[in-house]
Chain A
Amino acid sequence: MAVAEEKTSPETSAKSWHGILLETLKRNDVRLVPYVPDRILTPLIKNLHADPFFTTFATAREEEAVGIVSGAWMGGMRSAVLMQTSGFATLANVLASLAIPYQIPLIMFVSERGTLGEFNYGQSLVCRTMRPVLDSLAMEHHTITRLDELEFIADRSIKQAVTTQAPVALILSPLLTGGKVFDK
């Protein structure tokens, strides 16, 4: 907990990608954040846990998290789901049968594995399925590569998801987060 609190200090959080994301979620009243963890998402997850504004917890599968946030939205609470590329690959059915047809503003943050230095062949293959799935369902998605564009893209995309009642996937590129490399 002490470590997590250190990381939420304004000096470090305001300038980091995860600090910007946390503040953007809060400003948009996104309170519920279920996730299936990813190494890159760790500082964001720690800081969400440390902040009483958020209800954040791990789920066993990404599908389950989509179900939870769909229920929460219909009950009047805004939410977002955190996952890794391989987790997104498990979601085609729930996107096509729940989020899109029921017009749920499902907000997804996907930590991108499988590119720009990937060391696991399976990750690089599953990554190639992500954008074709998003495109085949005509879903809004953006790949965020730059820290100076992060707040604009995240803030506008959350607002658009809510007002148009449509899901959005925000892909966090290794160019933004540093990614995961073999020697880590």
Chain B
Amino acid sequence: MNNDSPARNTKVMNRFDLTSRLIAKLKNEEAVIGGIGNTNFDLWAAGHRPQNFYMLGSMGLAFPIALGVALAQPDRRVFALEGDGSLLMQLGSLSTIATLAPKNLTMVVMDNGIYQITGAQPTPGATVADLVAIAVASGLTNSSWAADEDDFERLIEKSMSAEGPTLIGVRIDDKPGTGTTRRDPVQIRERFMHGMGVREPL
């Protein structure tokens, strides 16, 4: 968390802890798309599931990929985990998602105000931009900051029966990811498709 950030009434939490809390709530083979770097490292560390998809590049595309899954499988709940720096690369995708308004999509923005993995440089938005306000202004009216861990869990639960897409912003600390995803893109994609029920293993 950048020290120059304005005072906020949101607790600074931890990415791995929040990701673990989310995964613990999943009982219906929900899809989870993890953005590049620490976001998917912590998803991996929280316990691999066939319904997890781990990005190894294409920074900023966690929400668009999740939108595609949500459109293809409207009966499955889809979660997307994205960093603040990544989201700044594809702010336009928030409007696309607001227009299509899939009710089965829950987006989580992990906001520490820094590019942690490249050396903790502050993002251009660190001290000035409010990503939840940007999401609301992009048409995602069901967007809010989680005040603390309990509030995060409450917002996740609430999103599962929402009438439209949900975005949850969480302030996180500057800790690196807990694990390291095995970097095998073909296997990641193939296992995810098994997890989505699209294919059977050979």
A residues with a Cβ closer than 8 A to B are: 32, 55, 57-61, 63-77, 79, 93-94, 96-98, 101-104
A67 CA to B87 CA, complexed, in Å: 13
Whether B72 sits at the interface, judged by CB under 8 Å, is yes
Number of cross-chain contacts by CB at 8 Å: 125
CB-contact partner of A32 in B53, B71, B73, B188, under 8 A: B71
**Contact between B193 and A77 (Cβ–Cβ < 8 Å)?**
no
**Which of B15-23, B55-63, B149-157 is the contact stretch?**
B55-63
**Shortest distance between the CB of A13 and any CB in chain B (Å):** 26
**Contact between B72 and A96 (Cβ–Cβ < 8 Å)?**
no
The closest CB in chain A to the CB of B66 belongs to A71
Q: Which residues of B contact A57 (CB under 8 A)?
A: 96, 99-100
Q: Which residues of B contact A66 (CB under 8 A)?
A: 58, 61, 64
Most-contacted residue by chain B among A32, A67, A70, A76 (CB, 10 A): A67
> 8 tightest CB-CB pairs across the interface, nearest first?
A60-B92, A71-B68, A97-B57, A75-B72, A67-B64, A67-B61, A77-B72, A72-B68
CB-contact partner of A68 in B64, B73, B193, under 8 A: B64
Against A, the Cβ 8 Å flags (1 = close, 0 = not) of B159-173 are: 000000000000000
**Contact between B67 and A71 (Cβ–Cβ < 8 Å)?**
yes
Majority secondary structure, B binding face: helix
**Contact between A63 and B60 (Cβ–Cβ < 8 Å)?**
yes
**Contact between A71 and B96 (Cβ–Cβ < 8 Å)?**
no
A64 CA to B55 CA, complexed, in Å: 14
Q: Which residues of B contact A98 (CB under 8 A)?
A: 55, 57-58, 61
Known: A98-B58, A104-B189. A69 touches B68 (CB 8 A): yes
**Contact between B69 and A74 (Cβ–Cβ < 8 Å)?**
yes
**Contact between B68 and A97 (Cβ–Cβ < 8 Å)?**
no
Whether B185 sits at the interface, judged by CB under 8 Å, is yes
Q: Which residues of B contact A32 (CB under 8 A)?
A: 68, 71-72
**Contact between A70 and B65 (Cβ–Cβ < 8 Å)?**
yes
